[in-house]
Amino acid sequence: SSRIFQAVPNTLLKEGTEYTFRAFLISSSGKYYSEPVKLTLKPQPSAKSLTWKKLSNASLPAEIEVYETTSQLSGRPFHAWYAIGDLSKGNVIFKVQVPNKAITIDNQAGEDCYILVNGGYFWNGTHTGLAILGNTASGSINPVRGSLRITDPEYDVMYNVTRGVFGIDNSDKPFVCWAATAKDGKHYYFGSPVPSVKGEAKYGPISASTPHRTEPNPKFALSAGPVLLYDGKCPFDFLETEKGTEYYMNNFEIMPYDIFGPNVLADRTAVGYTEDGRIVIFICDGRIAESKGANLVELAMVMKGIGCRYAVNFDGGGSTGMMIAGEHINDQTPNNRPVVSTLGFFKNNRI
């Protein structure tokens, strides 16, 4: 007597391939099938190819290059930087840091740090999410509210979600996936998100039986979200369901209103990697006259324009910051916010 709703993430599909979909329902009275429907993925948004200037810094090794742009983004002022690092020679390593209290990135960047940016989300000075530090996991990815607005009917609706993770494995190879923490405290990793849809599709607790599991064997990793690029595709858009404003069809990670939406233009932090395995660490300023920031689809397409095949969004807004060889390079107004996690490139002191 009621509609049953499920979305299919594009991470399960290949571009340019026609698929046949058929829904089925198993109930106490039998099994029922819909008529088959043939569908093909719509074209992806175009990569944003900006004009990047290479910056020189004598304190950085040859394995790390840094670029800056003041090109306009969608007709708006835009100021951004990215560092691209090659870990293959063993001179540079990638690490995640989670101090026991909130500290500015300036004070988290030690002498062995080449590039450092802010990391995951936090609340009341506590990291909210999953961190892997030298193969040791801390934190968790828990069910989230459908809305952070107390007056919203979705405030008291909880969703079991997967959240985007960026990390490196024990061979120092980068990976992007979705992760969640089960009731027994175990962390599971997936090659596709659980397709939660606010106001429509809810799923039971995450478990080992959830489809499309992957085992990245993470050495250093950090969750945030959403995943911006997965195998070259942006797994989300801003298409709304029939319920309208803030009820998005493809916001599978149930990101809140101050992060997700076509008009949410903000400072952004993102990390991804290219086809050949080089890691890209990106920031842009936002909400100032010189740089108006980016929404998440624009951010995904900027990362794709840089050459990323996979990428994850990290905490933005007042948390966004980048240290390059001890120098804080982006705008710090109105403040340089203390953060509870960071990630970046470091000197390999074992060599």
pLDDT tens digits along 297-327: 999 999 999 999 999 999 999 999 999 999 9
Report the C-alpha gap between 83 and 114 in whole angstroms. Answer: 10
pLDDT tier at 350, thresholds 50, 70, 90? low
Residue 94 has pLDDT above 90, yes or no: yes
What pLDDT shows up at residue 2? 64
What pLDDT shows up at residue 211? 67
Chain-centre distance for alpha carbon 194: 15
DSSP designation for 107: H
Task: Return the ∠ at Cα 339 (arms to 176 and 286), rounded to 5°.
Answer: 75
Q: How many CB atoms lie within 10 A of CB 241?
A: 18
* pLDDT (tens digit per residue) in 34-89: 999 999 998 899 999 999 999 999 999 999 999 999 999 999 999 999 999 999 99
pLDDT tier at 214, thresholds 50, 70, 90? confident
272's tokens? 């991804």
* pLDDT (tens digit per residue) in 219-232: 999 999 999 999 99
What pLDDT shows up at residue 78? 98
Give the pairing type, strands 126-127 and 122-123: antiparallel
131's tokens? 């961190």
What is the four-CA torsion angle of 53, 54, 58, 59, rounded to 10 degrees?
100
pTM listed for this prediction: 0.96
CA of 69: how far to CAs of 77, 202, 325, in Å?
A: 10, 41, 19
Average model confidence (pLDDT) across the chain: 94
Rg (CA), the chain: 20
Report the C-alpha gap between 192 and 254 in whole angstroms. Answer: 14
* Overall average pLDDT of the 128-139 stretch: 96
Write the single-letter amino acid at 236: F
Contact criterion met (CB below 8 Å) for 262 and 253: no
